[in-house]
Structure 1
Amino acid sequence: MAPVPWFPFGHSVFGRYGEYAKVPAREVRHGIIVHHPRFLVVPKVGMRLNPWFLARAAARKLRALQQSGFDPDLIDAHYLYPDGVAAAMLGRAFDKPVVMTARGSDVTEIGRLPVFRGKILQAAESSSHIITVSNSLRQELAEMGVRTPITTLRNGVDADRFHILPDVSAKPHGIDDFHLVFAGWLIPRKRPDLVLKAAGQIPGARVTMVGEGPELPSLKVLAQSLGISSRVTFLGQQPPEAMPGLLGRADVLMLPSEREGWANVLLEAMACGTPVVSNAVAGALDLVTVPEAGRLVYSQTPEAYATAIKDVIYNHAGRRSVRAYAQQFGWREVSLAQQAIFEKAVEEFKKGQAVG
């Protein structure tokens, strides 16, 4: 079940809300039935009310599913707010165990705001287990006061989908001719400006910016002011099926985000044999642990990133070595560990019911 905000118009002029309106009430993905109940989003105050509206919409659908013969053993929510808070409401209403997964800004941004922190802590208290995608998120939740058992399960990578392309060279041609890529929302928190400023210090860098966002106009102006417009391509948002090719044809992926939980794009790039240069935050600290994976940058300046990029190019381990490291992070082990958490949560919940 994946609830979506209700919106009456499906035209592209309405942006992501227009896209929400096009989502079907029911669809099948990879043989799995997915329901999309609608929930109300109120402008201005919607953030505070979202968990209640989300839970209400999901409860209606869940009751209908129960009447049709399907009764779940457990409620699993991804992202602590509003999803986790809504799931905790559902757990109490339907007498089901709840497992929640923290993925990044739900802890590092929303969780730091007092008005939302209390709701997250209350939801965590009533859940059976919490999963985080990085150790830093687990530590921050503990510091917030979460006493529920917490396990770090890092996201995996689909190594069949993300792979070394047959027509790319094993290593970059050199510092005078290499391809740098950024993939993500063009928003201040992602610091895409640092990508252009770092590239401006390396004449041989060709840059591809993948993504959309409010910073796009200013980034184009910045590229012109740096004199690198001829070396920068703004591709806009790309479909998922295009990403293996975009990442696989790059020599380095740069991700200077101020905050990240676990950036899947880092691992996806590595699976393509492309090393990364990332800000030394959260999940990146757990992932970029060997030289072949790439470099972590602690000083958030164009000079520091340019130095790290040059280091990767000069000392590139070769695509096969980069991919071999990424293949350690497969989905099988993650999925089995998550299944074990689910089974334990259901078993302990039933025991609690029997005692009660």
Structure 2
Amino acid sequence: MKKVLFICSVYKPNVGGVETAIDELAKFYVEQGLQVTILTKRFPFNLPDYEEIDHIPVVRIDRPKTFKDYDKTWRALAAYKDVITSDIIHVMGVRRPMTYIALMLGKLWKVPVIINFSGGDIFDKNDAESMRIWEEGKDITPQSIQQADFYIAFSKDIAEQAHACIPDLPDIAVVYAGIYTKNIKYVRRFEALRPYLLSVRRLYYAKGLDILISAFARVQKKHPKFDLYIVGDGPEMDNLKKQTQALGFEDEVKFMGTQPLETVYALMKGSVAHICPSRSEGGGTVNIEAQAAGTIAIGSTAGGIPEYIADNETGLLFQSEDVFDLTKKLLAIIEDETLRERLVQTALHRIDTFDWNHVARQYLDMYTKARATYNNRSLVPWKDNVIENWQELQDIWM
């Protein structure tokens, strides 16, 4: 194996768990002598078709909205044939239309397609956005996933969700998301005038920031010198600001927007605790980043978070959506220095198991297994449109 193609819904300059995972894996693979290309959708829409980011080729396509639009997609991909043709295809996240494109390219090149369920795009009744995404892709996403060759998930919880959505899937290997601990170790901590709690989240309802703000209001009454920093953007921004105003804490809750990773790590290092209050979550790389930064990781019991935070060992868990339980855990961290020190030291001792130097090798092992078990099966069309798209791709590519 010489070349890996990552396929994802969005990539840099967008910021998120999937983008970071691909970025770090790509760097590691290049260090191991592999070639890597990233294929993604164009977003924002002013981004170029092609560029190199950190010397790694990134090819962007416009999102096809109907089956008829794929003729344009195939032509756009053919223009970069030499760049994207690879020995294995790793799909990170399962949003429309990327699984369909991966399936077609895999059949065309006769190479394994690995589906990596990352969370947030598998149907979850606690996450309206994931339900919308799954509904939007129902005519191609499940069918494309079923014809892939190997399956990975970021947590056991995500694997269970995937099986609930597509019961006939074979076993799904669990490989946790990773971090480069050295990238965090040498960042200088943020120095604030007042102690603060931190939450780095996309501002969606499923991320539970309203729960955190309600708990912080209770904590602040007992510890009025504390602030809450919220890093991230999203559609819930206005609602969350209105909530802080209604509670009378608009000065103490600071919305900082999206920040570079180095700034996030500095903020984590300076915080008393990082809180992941999600109603729905695949696992949350942010939870292990917080542990590596030497702050307390507090998370809800939703989804795969308990797989990333060992309760009362590497951090604290609170019952999902329970404001009072979260308040109790925040007060315990603020008021019990011995507890804080024990949790921090245990987390720092165990964090290397999540380092990319360890995790990336697990992914390479999965590639080896996928190639060893690969069976060049013919495409099984589920619509006449699929037959047409397949023929168009072959005609254009050849």
Shorter-chain TM-score: what band?
0.7 to 0.9
Structure 1 gap ranges (5+): 6-16, 41-45, 170-176
CA distance in structure 2 between the partners assigned to 1:225 and 1:183 by the alignment: 22
Aligned to 2:359: 334
Match for 2:148 among 105, 113, 127? 127
CA distance in structure 2 between the partners assigned to 1:215 and 1:80 by the alignment: 24
Contact 1:73/1:346 (8 A) holds in 2: no
Contact 1:190/1:258 (8 A) holds in 2: yes
Deviation at 1:164, TM superposition (A): 7.0
CA distance in structure 2 between the partners assigned to 1:193 and 1:61 by the alignment: 43
Deviation at 1:197, TM superposition (A): 0.9
Shift in alpha-carbon separation, 1:311–1:52, aligned structure 2, 3 A: farther
1:347 paired with 2:365, answer: no
Shift in alpha-carbon separation, 1:277–1:69, aligned structure 2, 3 A: closer
Shift in alpha-carbon separation, 1:33–1:95, aligned structure 2, 3 A: same
CA distance in structure 1 between the partners assigned to 2:77 and 2:372 by the alignment: 22
SS in structure 2 opposite 1:149? coil
CA distance in structure 1 between the partners assigned to 2:162 and 2:209 by the alignment: 28
CA distance in structure 1 between the partners assigned to 2:322 and 2:169 by the alignment: 38
SS in structure 1 opposite 2:340? coil
Contact 1:163/1:248 (8 A) holds in 2: no
Letter in 2 for 1:317: E
Aligned to 1:80: 94
Structure-to-structure mapping, 1:149-228, within 5 angstroms: 149-163=171-185, 178-203=195-220, 204=223, 205-228=226-249
SS in structure 2 opposite 1:201? helix
SS in structure 2 opposite 1:99? strand
1:92 paired with 2:146, answer: no
Letter in 1 for 2:202: W
Shift in alpha-carbon separation, 1:349–1:306, aligned structure 2, 3 A: same
CA distance in structure 2 between the partners assigned to 1:38 and 1:70 by the alignment: 16
1:148 paired with 2:170, answer: yes
Contact 1:74/1:96 (8 A) holds in 2: yes
Deviations 1:154-203 (A, max 9, x none): 1001101123766689xxxxxxx741111112221112111211111112
Aligned to 2:327: 306
Deviations 1:134-163 (A, max 9, x none): 001112222331323310111001101123
Deviation at 1:235, TM superposition (A): 0.9
Deviation at 1:27, TM superposition (A): 1.8
Aligned to 2:317: 296
- Alignment: residue pair count: 327
CA distance in structure 2 between the partners assigned to 1:189 and 1:350 by the alignment: 39
Structure-to-structure mapping, 1:52-91, within 5 angstroms: 53=69, 59-66=74-81, 68=82, 71-82=85-96, 83-91=98-106
SS in structure 2 opposite 1:180? strand
Contact 2:150/2:370 (8 A) holds in 1: yes
Contact 1:275/1:292 (8 A) holds in 2: no
Letter in 2 for 1:340: D
Shift in alpha-carbon separation, 1:3–1:26, aligned structure 2, 3 A: farther
Deviation at 1:316, TM superposition (A): 0.6
CA distance in structure 2 between the partners assigned to 1:131 and 1:264 by the alignment: 16
Deviation at 1:334, TM superposition (A): 1.9
Structure 2 gap ranges (5+): 1-5, 11-40, 125-129, 379-398
Deviations 1:248-288 (A, max 9, x none): 11111111111111211111111101112211122212111
CA distance in structure 1 between the partners assigned to 2:136 and 2:230 by the alignment: 36
CA distance in structure 2 between the partners assigned to 1:202 and 1:91 by the alignment: 53
Deviations 1:212-252 (A, max 9, x none): 22322232222222222232211112123321111111111
SS in structure 1 opposite 2:354? coil
1:267 paired with 2:288, answer: yes
Deviations 1:113-136 (A, max 9, x none): 567456443223211101100001
Letter in 2 for 1:180: L
Aligned to 1:14: none
Deviation at 1:60, TM superposition (A): 3.2
Contact 2:7/2:91 (8 A) holds in 1: no
Shift in alpha-carbon separation, 1:27–1:77, aligned structure 2, 3 A: same
Contact 2:42/2:61 (8 A) holds in 1: no
Aligned to 1:13: none
Shift in alpha-carbon separation, 1:261–1:4, aligned structure 2, 3 A: closer
TM-score (ref. length: structure 2): 0.72
Deviation at 1:35, TM superposition (A): 1.7
The RMSD of aligned alpha carbons is 3.2
